[in-house]
Amino acid sequence: MSARRLAQARTRTAARRATASAAVVAGVATALGAACGSAPEPAAGPSFEVVEQTIPELQEAMASGRVTSRELVEHYLARIDAYDQRGPSLNAMISLNPAAVDEADARDQERASGDSRGPLHGVPVVVKDNYDMVGLPTTAGSVALADWYPPDDAYQVARLKAAGAVIIGKTNMHELAYGIETISSLGGQTRNPYDPTRNPGGSSGGTGAAVAASFAAAGMGSDTCGSIRIPSFHHALVGLRGTRGLSSRDGIIPLALTQDMGGPLTRSVTDLALVLDATVGPDPADTITELGVGHIPTTYTDFLETGALEGARIGTLEFQLGTTPPDQPVRRVVQEALDAMEAAGATVVPLEIPELPGLLQGASLERQEFKTQFAEYLRAPGTPVQSIDEILDTGLYHEALEARYRRSAAAPGLDDPEYLEVVARRDVVRRNVLQVMADEQIDAIAYPTIRRTARPIGEPQPGTNCVLASVAGLPAIVVPAGYAADGMPVGLELLGDAWGEGALIRLAYSYEQLTGHRRPPHTTPPLDAPRRMSEEWVATGADHVPPVETDATAQVRLTWDAATGELGYDARVYGVLDSEVLFMHLHRARAGDIGPVTVMLSRAGDARRSGTVVLTRSQRIAFEAGELYFDAHTRDHLTGLVRAQIGAPRRHDAP
């Protein structure tokens, strides 16, 4: 922690802390009540839809008077109220800013007087809960820090405020940033809005879920080994890890300072460039930012050019693309992305970098650095704990973190020869990568940030490619690349030369504009959009493939909630004995085709069954495309007696 922040910490008064404590609630439903009374309704007047709106679109709407910053805050808070603890229950937010509406009013007054601070003026954003912010606790998802109110803003938070952004809340994260599934003792498990049964990546998973679900225009995360890039991959977002020294780490709880970077997650490359402009640059409190002097352009928006793929040379490394069978669904999407780049005029160049896989093994330094650097942050007056050992001794942590915490607590100091050897090895990685890129005239190395789509909650998330950019200190950007066979997002990561953020933005923007892969999650539609349907189908033998001569029929009534992904069903077979019925299923196939079972509705001897299932992302896509059919199987007709093709749901507000 900087001397500036330590001095300010000593002047913090108990009265301010008590006032802030009363206003802030960890847990969104309660926080909404404390900050804004009852759950906010969108402002009266012409409807303005915030879903998927870019920062320039929001600015144009505010400049034209179609919406105010206050109304934007209210719209986003209404979405948080509808979807964070209800509906799909994303659990992305850990606290809300009770001053957000007042701050938005102030930005509106400035605009009315002709004073705009720039592209972020009045734009609502969220920040990860390891960024210090006055008036809100900085918990990093840890119950041990639930009552820690820092004395000042993290440098990048202060820069956002100076640019006119309105921070509406802080997001959940993998506890103390030490993991990639986003589970914490204070915030619980965040869910992926593309499939709430799956994890959102991490450690900035709360920011990823919040931005994907349009809880704000943009969000801030931190990346030690993939913690911006992995959630971007899993949420069809754009995320950037900059060159080491691009942005200040002051006021961000450290995990490993040789790798830590703060930065934006956005829904478009344009938005990322705008947030980057507002947050990067030198900070006397973080001397590493001196490296960036002379390397930061006037604005990164100058790099928003199409056509950059023409003549570009894109390198690939076989071991990063994925070689095992479980890696292939993601690899196929990445290969399609590379094919699209080649079609746009790029050349894809397979690379070999001497000894790179071995050099990367064990090169990430969270285990060794965390204990020492976290303790340094906790030196600030008023912090409720002083070390990771104290957190372990008091049991104030989530059980999923215990093994990692204990490994860090037992790690030797930063003067240990093994640690120093790894630090030296990282320089070799950087030199080797840059040498090969120069020799082959490579503009960027492309690979999936992680070689598997988001895994179900409770399962480990394997396959990360986070280490290369993190240990080499080189910039890497993630851009949406499409969707795997299971319907989950896949991102393409592009790694560039030192201080090559602008060149990466140019490539990512060209690819984004060429392909347009970003799609919003189905579970968080516009609030005024019809979300429920309830319809009934009659299944007959004549509709079977092939047709069956029978007097039997079936009725199936489906109730669909787009926000939760819940499919309610009531299925009944008539004209045969219950004992004759073997199964009732939903199969996946278009009309006139035969396809596999995707949802089991009943077992043998059950001709009448009702219940509810939560559809997976891939099942949901098939359902909403009209590619499911109901089939009842009997002992005399094992391949199916009666069938009804389930049409694409016509949504309305079902009773």
> Where along the chain do its domains lie?
3-515, 532-646
Residue 222 — very low, low, confident or very high, per pLDDT cuts 50/70/90? very high
Q: Is the pLDDT of residue 499 over 60?
A: yes
Please tell me the predicted confidence (pLDDT) of residue 1: 45
Q: What φ, ψ does residue 275 adopt, rounded to 5°?
A: -70, -35
Query: What residues form DSSP beta bridges with 482?
Result: 490
Q: Strand ranges (DSSP E) for 226-339?
A: 238-241, 261-266, 313-316
Confidence of residue 9 (pLDDT cuts 50, 70, 90): very low
| 201-215 average pLDDT score | 98
Whole-model pTM: value is: 0.85
Instruction: Give the span between the Cα atoms of 623 and 558, in whole angstroms.
Output: 11
Mean pLDDT, the chain, integer:
91
Q: What is the mean pLDDT of residues 245-272?
A: 98
Does residue 573 surpass a pLDDT of 70?
yes
Which pLDDT does position 651 carry in this prediction? 54
Lowest average pLDDT, out of 58-67, 214-223, 606-615, goes to: 606-615
Residue 634's SS3 state is strand
CATH code, residues 3-515:
3.90.1300.10
- Rounded Cα–Cα distance for residues 415 and 419 (Å): 7
Which pLDDT score is estimated for 79?
97
| Residues 551/224, Cβ–Cβ less than 8 Å | no
- Please state whether the peptide bond connecting residue 546 to the residue before it is cis, i.e. omega within 30 degrees of 0: yes
pLDDT score for 563: 73
Say which of 2, 128, 214, 268 is annotated catalytic.
128
Residues 6+ apart with CB under 8 A from 417: none
Q: What CA–CA distance (Å, rounded) separates 405 from 416?
A: 19
pLDDT for residue 8 is more than 80: no
* H/E run at residue 62: helix 55-64
Average of per-residue pLDDT across 253-262 = 98
Q: Is residue 190's pLDDT more than 60?
A: yes
Out of 31-35, 376-380, 562-566, least confident range: 31-35
Q: Measured between alpha carbons, how far is 275 from 227 in angstroms, rounded to an integer?
A: 18
Give the pLDDT score at 181.
98
Residue 331 has pLDDT above 70, yes or no: yes
**Cβ-contact 32, 195 below 8 angstroms:** no
Is there a catalytic annotation at residue 203?
yes
Cβ burial 346-380 (10 Å sphere, 16+ → b, else e): beeeebebeebeebbeebbbbbbbbbbbbbebbeb
Options 95, 142, 203, 602, the catalytic residue: 203
CA dist 242 and 235 (Å) reads 20
| Residue 326, φ and ψ in degrees, nearest 5 | -65, -15
Residue 633 has pLDDT above 50, yes or no: yes
Q: Is the pLDDT of residue 417 over 60?
A: yes
What is the percent of the chain with per-residue pLDDT over 90, rounded to a whole number? 86
- pLDDT at position 230: 98
Identify which of 485, 505, 503 has the alpha carbon closest to the alpha carbon of residue 240. Answer: 505
What is each CA distance from 55 to 59, 151, 458, in whole angstroms? Answer: 6, 30, 35
Fold of 532-646: Immunoglobulin-like (2.60.40)
Whether residue 45 has pLDDT greater than 80 = no
227, 232, 247, 364: the catalytic one is 227
- Give the span between the Cα atoms of 562 and 461, in whole angstroms: 27
How high is the pLDDT of residue 65? 96
**β-sheet bridge partners, residue 340:** none
Q: Please name the helix (run of DSSP H) or strand (run of DSSP E) that holds residue 492, with its range, or none.
A: strand 489-495
Lowest mean pLDDT among 445-454, 543-552, 609-618: 609-618
The pLDDT assigned to 32 comes to 38
**Lowest-pLDDT range, 5-19, 79-93, 526-540?**
5-19
Q: What is the pLDDT of residues 347-393, one digit of tens each?
A: 999 999 989 999 999 999 999 999 999 999 999 999 999 999 999 99
pLDDT at 630 over 60: yes
Annotated active-site residue 247? The verdict is no
CB half-sphere exposure, 537, CA atoms < 13 A: 23
C-alpha span between 251 and 379 (Å, rounded):
13
**pLDDT for res 546:** 94
Helix, strand, coil tally for the chain in percent (to 5): 35, 20, 45
Element containing residue 431 per DSSP (H, E): helix 417-439
Cα–Cα distance for residue pair 599/606, rounded to 1 Å: 16
Q: CA-CA-CA-CA torsion for 377, 383, 386, 390, nearest 10 degrees?
A: -130
- Portion of the chain with pLDDT greater than 70, in percent: 92
Residue 507 pLDDT: 98
- pLDDT at 38 (0 to 100): 38
pLDDT in tens, 474-488: 999 999 999 999 999
Confidence of residue 530 (pLDDT cuts 50, 70, 90): low
pLDDT of residue 56: 98
Strands 444-448 and 93-96: unpaired
